[in-house]
Structure 1
Amino acid sequence: MHIDGIIIGGGIVGLALAEQLMERFPNFEFALFEENPYPGECSSSRNSGVLHSGIYYKKNSLKHLHCLRGRELWDSLANKYKIPIKKCGKILFANGPEEIAKLEALKENGVNNQVPELSWADEQLITEVSDYVNVDRALVCGSTGIIDLAGAIRAISQAVYNKNIPILLDNKVKGLSKSLGKFEIQTTNENFTSNFVFNCAGRNSLEIRNLLGLTDLSEKLVKGHYLKYSGNYYREKLLYPMPLKSLKGLGIHTCLDFEGNVLFGPDAQERTDASFRMEEKDIREMKEYVLQTYKGIDPDKLAMDYCGIRNKIIKAEKLFEDFWVGDPSSTGIKGYFEFCGIESPGFTSAPSLAEELCIKLDAYL
């Protein structure tokens, strides 16, 4: 069977791309392949649900630019598809001279990145927050929000269905090659040919590109756990500590969901496999950190909730700290586009990444 364009991966990036492709290219036929029984079953549904502000990232990096644009686009998508979003804001807290210096540098970076709604917390807010964390100075990021992950995945999936793009579940891509100007795709269920391939396969994106002979990237897996707290705690805004070194993680922060729950996470544990199995040692260490960092926590009300895997890109034996976005001009393969290493702020950035690819495709045609 021949299809004009095939999207590999039904996470939020693949879904956002499918949603935009059909609107921009209505005369083309597209299909989306997802190896799992449900869309968004891996990384997309296993993160904090935070719509990020863009404060952390290097100016003009893909993470910076797509985070800001993606945050804007999610507001439009939320209105269009009735996706629950709450603009709660977050508080970055610092304790002691060293952390305050880091916080001031973050504020400067945020201003340079044109992150909206940044302000120093006043004494009243610091006093309020000091019941929950040790804080000498704090920065408020008013544009940060939370999104209903499951609701967003469900709504975008339905929009894709409504645009007559089939989402072929339980369809893992086993083979991918190019012959006589067309891609040949073998899945667990059927074989296809296509003019275009869009690699949005998340953790499997490197496996897909390897099938085409693109072997210059490798990956590092980082596992993040989330603890749910059943007691009463601060729910007005998200609470964030100073980020970890080299952006390995943003630190264990509070998360809020749309059922009123408070969660803590994620931690950052390097792994060699992508198992979602939760080890008792990791949970114990995470609980210890939460109890040391956050005040008034009843340890008996902290329980393991879920975990996720973030894949980071290694290029030339060095950590590649940005998103990896490839197209025919960079890969040398006509009709092939790829997204790799779409870790945080990947969910926030997804609509913007999709938008940019559609612009590239339009110029390419």
Structure 2
Amino acid sequence: MNSIFFSTDSCKGYDLVVVGGGIIGCATAREMKIRHPQMRIAIVEKEDGLAKHQTGHNSGVIHAGIYYKPESLKSKLCVEGLKLSYDYIKEKNIPFKQVGKLIVASNDSEITYLNELYERGLKNKCPDIELIDKNCIKNHEPKCTGVKAIWSPWTGIVDWAVVCQHFAEDLKKMGGDIFLNFEVSGIAECVKCKGETNSPFISLYSTNKYLNTKYILTCAGLHSDRLAAITGCDLSTRIVPIRGEYLLIKEDKKNFISTNIYPVPNPKFPFLGVHFTPKLNGDTWIGPNAVVAFAKEGYHWKNINIKDCAELANFSGLYKLCFKHIASGIYEVIKSIFYVLSIKESQRFVPEIQFRDVVRGPAGVRAQALDNNGDLIDDFLFDTGLNKRVIHCRNIPSPGATSSLAIAKFISDKLEKDFKL
């Protein structure tokens, strides 16, 4: 077995290794290196590149923080992350568009909840949001119809995978390391220094290689529950892969809309519903739906992983979730097959859109944390393992990309406290 960072005379290794090369892992490794320049920090990633999954398979929206419960960590970190993201994007000259967002009530029955959502946004200190009437809706997007809306001018669009790459480059420029094609299969006390009392190392194992480190942070997204189990953590919370499928407006209708258009979310359903997203290249995405995937990285119905399916089949929380949302769950599957239904939903806000204008588009898979009762975990969830030398991020709720720089500060504070750095 080959060692990446090992000596036969004495154990050498990193001070901190971050498992997971998505936007949270890269942002946190960068933040820790800024705070502690002397620390030896590395990222390990199982793929041949960074940001291959959730970070690289999302709508690219820069969220303003309207939806989240006031005074919650999610709302605070999103609003803080919004400002930090714009500052960083501008500093690095990363392409973006500050296109804004309309959250539209399509009929009078939705106005009450729209007003409540607006009050929530004010409490969250979302910048410059407005409650506007149907005439003002047309001013922001002529193709959009509705009776009332929230206008969020600071909502934007960016490629979060590009942002993640910049975080990684910052880390490398400061002396940090990144190892690709390193899928962690084991975490254990280092054999060479076992029994030592002076800061013994622990080892991360992959195929035919390993490296040593004093501390580990896992930010593994879809695989976060498995990594936690490796170090002895319980599996009362599991990750259920939820695929979101988008539709794409055809090439002959580039720049079809100029702003994000969202429905008023149904408070009984955990996702935001079908919406319009303008992309940097002029494309327009419509969606997503929400269906359980048959693989951790199941971007299509044909992606089936037997191990992943077996874990889901043995998880009682999934059955309870399906029972709670059986009607809406079936409808989401039907929408996946007959995407004309998604078009009909979207016509409530943009009547001009027709079935002939749309083709199937990309998909992403969300790492949805779920407990044994079938309840969705909507808050940050951390766990520790291997003599408290490993911290697992077992749930980093949406909008993780927008909040990434703020989340990195939050996690770094936790690392400093728990590891007594």
Task: Tell me the TM-score normalised to structure 2 length.
Answer: 0.80
Match of 1:204 among 219, 223, 226: 223
Match of 1:264 among 286, 292, 304: 286
SS of the residue corresponding to residue 220 of structure 1 reads: strand
The runs of 5 or more residues in structure 1 that have no matched partner are none
The runs of 5 or more residues in structure 2 that have no matched partner are 1-5, 7-12, 303-332
Per-residue deviation, residues 145-179 of structure 1 (Å, max 9, x unmatched): 11123321332232222222221111100001346
Q: Is the aligned partner of 1:351 residue 2:405? A: yes
The residue type paired with residue 105 of structure 2 is A
1:42-191 paired onto structure 2 within 5 Å: 42-128=53-139, 132-178=143-189, 180=195, 181-191=200-210
Question: Distance between the aligned counterparts of 1:291 and 1:31, measured in 2?
Answer: 48
CA gap 1:333/1:112 in 2 versus in 1, 3 angstroms: farther
Moved more, 14-23 or 117-126: 117-126
CA gap 1:338/1:246 in 2 versus in 1, 3 angstroms: farther
Match of 1:285 in 2: 338
Give 1:133 deviation, angstroms: 4.3
Moved more, 274-283 or 1-10: 274-283
CA gap 1:157/1:282 in 2 versus in 1, 3 angstroms: farther
Give 1:221 deviation, angstroms: 2.2
Question: Distance between the aligned counterparts of 1:113 and 1:33, measured in 2?
Answer: 35
User: Could you tell me the percent identity over the aligned residues?
Assistant: 25
Per-residue deviation, residues 192-235 of structure 1 (Å, max 9, x unmatched): 22111111111011111111111132122211011111225653
Whether the aligned pair in 1 keeps the contact of 2:42 and 2:179 (CA below 8 Å) is: yes
The residue type paired with residue 248 of structure 2 is K
Match of 1:12 in 2: 23
Give 1:324 deviation, angstroms: 2.6
Give 1:107 deviation, angstroms: 0.8
Q: Is the aligned partner of 1:22 residue 2:33? A: yes
SS of the residue corresponding to residue 216 of structure 2 reads: strand
Question: Distance between the aligned counterparts of 2:171 and 2:338, measured in 1?
Answer: 41
CA gap 1:81/1:188 in 2 versus in 1, 3 angstroms: farther
Whether the aligned pair in 1 keeps the contact of 2:65 and 2:121 (CA below 8 Å) is: yes
1:286-325 paired onto structure 2 within 5 Å: 286-294=339-347, 295-325=351-381
Moved more, 89-98 or 293-302: 293-302
Question: Distance between the aligned counterparts of 1:303 and 1:159, measured in 2?
Answer: 38
The structure number with the bigger radius of gyration is 2
Moved more, 260-269 or 129-138: 129-138
| TM-align CA RMSD | 2.3
The residue type paired with residue 363 of structure 2 is C
Question: Distance between the aligned counterparts of 1:198 and 1:61, measured in 2?
Answer: 23
Task: Tell me the TM-score normalised to structure 1 length.
Answer: 0.91
